[in-house]
Chain A
Amino acid sequence: MKKIAIRVDDLTVAYNYKPVLWDIDLTVPEGVLMAIVGPNGAGKSTLIKSILGIIDPIAGSVSIYDKPYSKQRKLVAYVPQKGSVDWDFPTTALDVVMMGTYGKLGWIKRPGQKEKKASLEALEKVGMLPFKHRQISQLSGGQQQRVFLARALVQNASIYFMDEPFQGVDATTEIAIINILKELRKAGKTVIVVHHDLQTVPEYFDWVTFLNVKKIATGPVKDIFNDDNLTKTYGINYKVAVNQ
């Protein structure tokens, strides 16, 4: 039996009395590449944001490797949605990636040569080394996404949360990113991805969670990625709708 990387118990989140996530129980085994799928407004981003403590849940708890998340932050890396920041901020690609080292450095201490070297390696891994001194507003959407990925890679975490990393990127970038994610899985890391494209789920992921305010199902793609769960999640007969 594999170790449990993430355990979520009774997680409930609400804005203005309206529940966004309702009583979510979720366990994710170590070493899987998991997609979170569901319609718009299903609470996919909210789920990872509340696991990461960015949003305060009304109820529930999160543990990472059997300890409270607050004690395990250094094991966790996060790739936010690309659109969540202002890309006109005066800084360079390398500088953004260096931010990934700040957590381990802690307060006040500045990044040095070691952190710089690690950041350059991460940029290299995502194919962005030639753009290291580029002002971030001059990067394309796909390049910005790669920079965000590099920033998470440099954290050298055990668990990676990614919020729609494929949104608005071209096919080349999508393939580059998925290859890196598969590499992470091979290295024994756990990767959780908010994902929109149902077609690619069986190809990219080995684990999946269906979410629509409540958790519909979670498990291996080959066992649970079926019409029954898709219909329960999206409320339409998915297969019929696609084949129309």
Chain B
Amino acid sequence: TSFSAVVLIGESGVGKTNLLSRFTRNEFNHDSRTTIGVEFSTRTLTLDGQLVKAQIWDTAGLERYRAITSAGAVGALLVYDITKHQSYDSIERWLKELYDHADASIIVMLVGNKSDLANETREVPFEEAKMYADSNGLLFIETSALDSTNVELAFETILRDIHRRVLKNKGEIPKDNTVVLSNQPNTGQSEGQTAEDKKSCCRNV
């Protein structure tokens, strides 16, 4: 089994917690509580014939929590609400925050959630977000935690991406990379290291 750590970030109320619960427990809660601090869930799935244990961190969406959320992850789902343009407007800030605190080689997927409301109250056009993602080197998908659309696919895609990178780097000595979310800079990984080195974040056990 190999481990992959993914963090869910984005404005509060975009549906991060429900994306997580849909993926790990196949549950959706209309009155899910605001996340305070960080929460955490795991799911084991098979990717390319190998068992992968995905470790997913769900974070509070309010700006002031950002400092304690993103460091150490190898993948991030940056979630916005397709019915709230304001939540899309803030993704730039989230990206900056992410690159400031997390590993530079982190894989980011832009996720437009609440696609079940697309016909009624969509505010962010699919094409606009897709273009933004392409030009910034992000993966992109629209999901609905409510009706399960694409949730599985979103997580599988990013986890497979992470997993493939690991396989590619398999020749290297695996480093201990237990994920600790804190705002401490990643002192362990200095600039001098190669990109490959930085990517060795999933450890085979």
- Whether chain B is bound by chain A comes out as no
